[in-house]
């Protein structure tokens, strides 16, 4: 029965967009990271991302990141500037212990701006964090 299905709540896992200098193109790029604030590793991490608004959408990107150690992060993908004009959603699923977790992280269109950045200690960079 539906009432018997337990849906665990995701805690201590976040997505961040950090702006980084790219030596090759001599400019700043936005990169997406997944952050595991948990004291245990998470396994079989899958991230599906896409950008959209009322009349436009990007292709869907899928990333298999495997295991993410406790108190660590992993780079997911480059997010081009023109995609930041759209809503960007990251669907994250992973196992912690013997349970499957999932959560959607959304960066609203035109919200990823330099003046919205804060310091993210685990990345040791400025960025925008969604928990």
Higher-confidence residue of 1 and 102: namely 102
Residue 87 to residues 18, 46, 50, 66, 80: CA-CA distances in angstroms? Answer: 16, 20, 8, 26, 13
Residue extents of the structural domains in the chain: 2-109
pLDDT digits (tens, 9 = 90+) for 36-70: 999 999 999 999 999 999 999 999 999 999 999 99
Classified as helix, coil or strand, 110 is coil
- Taking the C-alpha atoms of residue 129 and residue 5, their distance in angstroms, rounded to an integer, is 30
Domain 2-109 CATH (choose: 2.60.40.10, 3.20.20.70, 3.30.830.10, 2.40.50.180): 2.60.40.10
- Tell whether the model's pLDDT for residue 80 goes beyond 80: yes
Quick one: 118 exposed, middle or buried, by C-beta within 10 A (0-12, 13-18, 19+)? Answer: exposed
pLDDT digits (tens, 9 = 90+) for 6-40: 879 999 999 999 999 888 777 889 999 999 999 99
């Amino acid at each position: 029965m539906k009432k018997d299905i337990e849906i665990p709540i995701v805690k201590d896992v976040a997505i961040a967009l950090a702006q980084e200098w790219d030596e090759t193109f001599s400019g700043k790029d936005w990169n997406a990271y997944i952050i595991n604030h948990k004291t245990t590793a998470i396994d079989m991490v899958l991230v599906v991302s896409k950008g959209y608004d009322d009349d436009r959408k990007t292709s869907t990107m899928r990333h298999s990141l495997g295991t993410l150690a406790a108190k660590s992060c992993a780079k997911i993908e480059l997010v081009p500037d023109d995609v930041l004009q759209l809503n960007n959603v990251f669907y994250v699923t992973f196992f912690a212990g013997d349970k499957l977790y999932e959560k959607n992280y959304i960066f609203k269109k035109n919200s990823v701006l330099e003046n919205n950045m804060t310091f993210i200690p685990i990345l040791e960079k400025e960025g925008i964090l969604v928990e």
